[in-house]
Chain A
Amino acid sequence: MIIRADLHIHSCLSPCGDLSMSPRAIAGTLASRGVNLAALTDHNSALNCPAFDVACREAGIAALFGIEAQTREECHMLCLFAEPETALKLGEELYAVMPPVPNNPGKMGDQVYVDENEDILGEVEKYLVTSADIGIDELADRVHELGGIAVPAHADRPAFSLVSQLGFIPEGNWDALELVRLPLSEPAARELDTRGYPLITSSDAHYIEHLARRPFDLDIADAPLLRADGRVDMETIRAALARRPR
């Protein structure tokens, strides 16, 4: 079976995410645009994942619960899990090692988390788009320890990426690489060594209109998308990612 996936999405919790990006609005829009598998990946926080869980179930979308973590190197990494609780756990760990820079909502944007009815539950105090004191390798290992999938985000982008921060794609414990667009355009197509990692693209949506732009197709063959408990089967996703073009 081929499923359409968008694994990099920001909600109203990200300061740069639009306030209209509630988990409910995101799930409804994704469903209307034919996405079957979606991950919520706010900056350094998973606090909107519980609401995303409910909203995706109602919209008939298989959900992954994630974080776009920012590492010590200032690389962004998608950390994806089958359960909201695991994403929340990693979020707490990151929050503990983030610098105490308070968010300034007026200047940087709101960082609100909501319930499934779009009622605001609270606001995150620390500014979320900052570096947690953890390196890329250490983070990937931790994600795998927690049963998750680690994908360096927009690896070819001129900011907050492996290429912008390190100058190249290093070998690491990555389940795939997210690139801004596929196929790569020149000169990156010629010059960027993606080291044989499976490649994906995502919307990186911060606004409703961007949801499901640049989705990718994941061939899960005849493996189950969901486990018996209704959560996404991570083994299936891992195996399907491994079959993506490299």
Chain B
Amino acid sequence: MKTSELAGYLGAESLNTEWTDRDIKGVYTTDLLSDAMANAVDNGILVTIQAHKNTVAVATLKDLAAIVVCNNRPIPDDMMEAAKEEQIALFLTKESQFVVSGKLYQAFKA
């Protein structure tokens, strides 16, 4: 699956366009950024409710393709700004991490 297919597949809202389309290598779900730093998949997706600019910093560090923010958490302007600058795709969905992870598991299980 490519980054550009995520919004359609998840029924999520795509929040920005400043990113390069990539092949997604995997998915990790967590709300602890240190856990994401340790275990997120390079070129993968982070599924989380942590809607703040530090999440983008971790995504940058781990070279993530996308962040999927769940539960319709409000996205602060500085997070949008950081995602734009770092070219990280940002998606927002009303669904929970459980539901989003379940859907992505279907697509990415080996």
Point out residues on A near B: beta carbons under 8 Å. 70, 74, 99, 101, 104, 107-108, 127, 129-131, 158-160
Q: What are the residues of chain A within 8 A of B52 when measuring CB–CB?
A: 158-159
What 4 A-B pairs are tightest by C-beta distance, nearest first?
Answer: A131-B34, A159-B52, A130-B34, A107-B60
Minimum C-beta distance from B101 to chain A (A): 20
Let me know if A159 and B54 touch, CB within 8 A. Answer: yes
| Cα(A130)–Cα(B62), bound, Å | 13
Cβ < 8 Å to A, chain B residues 33-63:
33-34, 37-38, 50, 52, 54, 57, 60-61
Which of A127, A131, A160 is B61 in contact with, Cβ under 8 Å?
A: A127
18 A–B contact pairs at CB < 8 A? A70-B34, A74-B32, A74-B34, A99-B34, A101-B37, A101-B61, A107-B61, A108-B57, A108-B60, A108-B61, A127-B37, A130-B34, A131-B32, A131-B34, A158-B52, A158-B76, A159-B54, A160-B54
**Measured CA separation A99–B61 after assembly (Å):** 14
Q: Which residues of A contact B33 (CB under 8 A)?
A: 74
B residues with a Cβ closer than 8 A to A are 32-34, 37-38, 50, 52, 54, 57, 60-61, 76
User: Across the two chains, which residue of chain B brings its CB closest to A133?
Assistant: B34
Q: Chain B: interface secondary structure?
A: helix
A130 in contact with B54 (CB, 8 Å): no
The contact of A159 among B50, B60, B61, by CB within 8 Å, is B50
Q: Report whether A101 and B38 are in contact in the complex, using a CB–CB cutoff of 8 Å.
A: yes
Least CB distance from B47 to A in Å reads 17
> In the complex, which residue of chain B has the Cβ closest to the Cβ of A104?
B61
Q: Which residues of A contact B76 (CB under 8 A)?
A: 158
CB-CB < 8 A to B61: which residues of A? 101, 104, 107-108, 127
CB distance from B61 to the nearest CB of A (A): 6
Q: Which residues of B contact A104 (CB under 8 A)?
A: 61
Question: A170 to nearest B CB, angstroms?
Answer: 17
Q: Smallest distance from the beta carbon of A231 to chain B beta carbons, Å?
A: 33
Whole-angstrom distance between the alpha carbons of A127 and B50 in the complex?
20
Contact for B37 among A107, A130, A158, A160, CB less than 8 A: A130
Give the complex CA separation of A130 and B61 in angstroms.
12
Nearest CB in chain B to that of A73: its residue: B32
Chain B nearest CB from A70 CB (Å) reads 8
Q: Of residues B37, B52, B54, B61, which shows the largest number of chain A Cβ atoms within 10 Å of its Cβ?
A: B61
A130 CB contacts on chain B under 8 angstroms: 34, 37
Nearest CB in chain A: distance from B88 CB, A: 12
Instruction: Taking A99-B37, A107-B60, A108-B61 as given, write out 19 further A-B residue pairs in contact, using a Cβ cutoff of 8 Å, ordered by the A residue number.
Output: A74-B32, A74-B34, A99-B34, A99-B38, A101-B37, A101-B38, A104-B61, A107-B61, A108-B60, A127-B61, A129-B57, A130-B34, A131-B34, A158-B52, A158-B76, A159-B50, A159-B52, A159-B54, A160-B54
- The distance in angstroms between the C-alpha atoms of A175 and B101, with both chains bound, is 41
The interface residues of chain B lying within 8 Å CB-to-CB of A70 are 34
In whole Å, how far is B14's beta carbon from the nearest beta carbon of chain A? 23
Closest residue to B38 on the A side, CB-wise? Answer: A99
Q: Kindly report which residue of chain B lies nearest to residue A102, judged by CB atoms.
A: B61
Q: Hey, which chain B residues are within 8 Å of A99, CB to CB?
A: 34, 37-38
Which residues on B sit within 8 Å (CB–CB) of A129?
A: 54, 57
A101 to B50, CA, bound (A): 20
